[in-house]
Structure 1
Amino acid sequence: MCHERWSGGAEDARRYATPVALATEDGREMPGWTFRPFGPPGDGSGGGSGDGSGAGGRGTCLVVPDIYGPSPFYAELARLLAAEGYTATLVDYFFREGPLAERTREAAFRRRAGLDERRALRDLSAAVGRLGAGAPRTAVIGFCLAGQFALDLAAMRRDLATVSFYGFPEGVSGEVAVAAPRPVDLAGEITGPVLACWGTRDYIPLPVIQRFEKAMRDAGTDYTQLLLDGAGHGFLQGLVEEREDSAAARRAWLETLDFLAGAGLTGRAS
């Protein structure tokens, strides 16, 4: 599932990050890593700095990883967002449950079994409130399990632009302490723009994706859906290594950047 097996670039990506501790509503601290813009927006070069809210910054992005947590892939993705001029913070919403004993699917699902997903949503919402304070909108980019969380957050808050990669509109199966709401049931509560990306070879059934699309359309939501032919679950990994779904990954990344540029994160033209 997703990106647990990619380890390239981990140390290089982390060098660009500043560790942060994001206070939750109950006084705990969720760890994160903030990647700040390190060049003029869009040029990917070094030099310069910004915090995403001042001159030169394109806005703030919260990067919410899959069931394995903040793996090297997500650090690299946050670094790529910083190269585009965004302040990107990668967070670990499993901080209450502790680190994985081993990076395997079985260990990840055992840890998830103890997760209060509704509390995790409140923790993530608190992180948005702190990172995006004063901005018209904050971008939330979630993947797999957190692709569902990103959609749930879009129904909880009115200040988000949401990108969901291979999220679960009707929830994730398996044992969990407290399950998060199903996004398909919350379509009428979502007010901000949403971009949702899946591949046609995902194990999330196409009828599930279609039911969610219908719910979003019926609710009149600002919703864009990208269904990439031949791409499977976790296809965005093709952005950082060459594989059969790299073309789909590059297309989805460009669509994501276009979406973020037009999402009104800073209240001014990009």
Structure 2
Amino acid sequence: MKTNRSLLVIQSVQGKIHSPRAGKNPYRINRNGMPQILPATGGITYNVQIGDTCMGWVGDHVEPGVSIQSENDAENIALNLLACIGNEARVITGDAKGAKGFVTGKHGGIDHVLIYFKKSDLEKMAINDTILIKAQGQGLEIVSHEDIKCMNIDPELFEKLGITVDNEGILEIPIVTEVPAYLMGSGIGSPTAFSGDYDIMTGDSEANKEFGIDKLRFGDIVLLRDCDNTFGREYLKGAVSVGVVVHSDCIKSGHGPGVTVIMSSKTTKIKGVKDSNANIANYLSVQD
């Protein structure tokens, strides 16, 4: 399968480790109307990383590893647009200077870029440490499959996904599970899928079991049925999107594990092949 990888620009973007925040009213209201105080987005999350379950944590929208953001709004938009899953990230200030990791996802709304580092490196990091990303991936195209829009993924990681093409020209990609469009919630209607994520709703426990959502892990690759992400995010019968699980389950109505999309087609040109090992932690050899 041939791509335009050799033509893609590699460009620096950077941000600082972003502290968790809380308002004067610190409560988060769960889907049953009950207020809770919980860990949520931002900071350095020491005991949650890709490959771990994204379900059951005592938290809300928990982001694995390190969460970064730029203090400049325009620069943060560029950071969130250009950083792609699998891009190399390097710490350039603080006690962990020189440590390398990689981007694991992008979280819309809070507009964080999420990054994996080894646990030993996390212990040396602090809020406001600066991290530089070698951004590459936006504009990736598959030759002779221009109707499939690729986004948000490093081309080297893309080549590790085990994608094949069948005799009818349909792309077959390993996935952990398929999710129907009626379970996609927060983030629907966003004007672009080249930044951020949108959530699998988890309020129905039977649906969680039926589609294997209760077993999802950070970094799992999932197929979204009848979901069009080629421009914005919407329902379209026959469309197929593929994405990576980037943040944890949530307590709020209409929310759940977040998915950053990496491929989308308005037609059934993408087919999922069930594989429990379809997780970026495996493709990028995460060991701790």
TM normalised by structure 1 equals 0.28
Relative to its length, the structure with more helix (as a share) is 1
Relative to its length, the structure with more strand (as a share) is 2
Greater C-alpha Rg: 2
Q: Which has the higher contact order (CA 8 A, sep 6+)?
A: 2
